Amino acid sequence: MAQHNRIIFALDVGDMGSAKNWVRKLKGHIGWFKVGLELFTAVGPDIIKLIKDNGIRCFLDLKFHDIPNTVAGAVRSSTRTGADMMTIHLSGGRAMITAALKAAQNASIELGIERPKIVGVSVLTSLSGEDLKEIGVDKTPGEHVAHLARFASSCSLDGLVCSAEDLPHVRQNVPETLMLITPGIRPSWSEKGDQKRVATPLSALKAGADLLVIGRPISESPDPLQALKQIISEMQSR
Is 34:11 a contact under the CB 8 Å cutoff? yes
Helices (H), the chain: 16-26, 37-43, 46-53, 68-81, 94-111, 129-134, 141-154, 167-171, 201-206, 216-219, 224-236
User: For the stretch 143-163, what's the b/e string if a residue is b when 16 or more beta carbons lie within 10 angstroms of its beta carbon?
Assistant: ebbbbbbebbbebebbbbbbb
Q: How far apart are CA 104 and CA 107, in angstroms?
A: 5
Query: Which of 25, 52, 63, 139 does the annotation list as catalytic?
Result: 63
Q: How many residues does the chain have?
A: 238
Task: Say whether 192 is catalytic.
Answer: no
Q: Which residues are catalytic?
A: 63
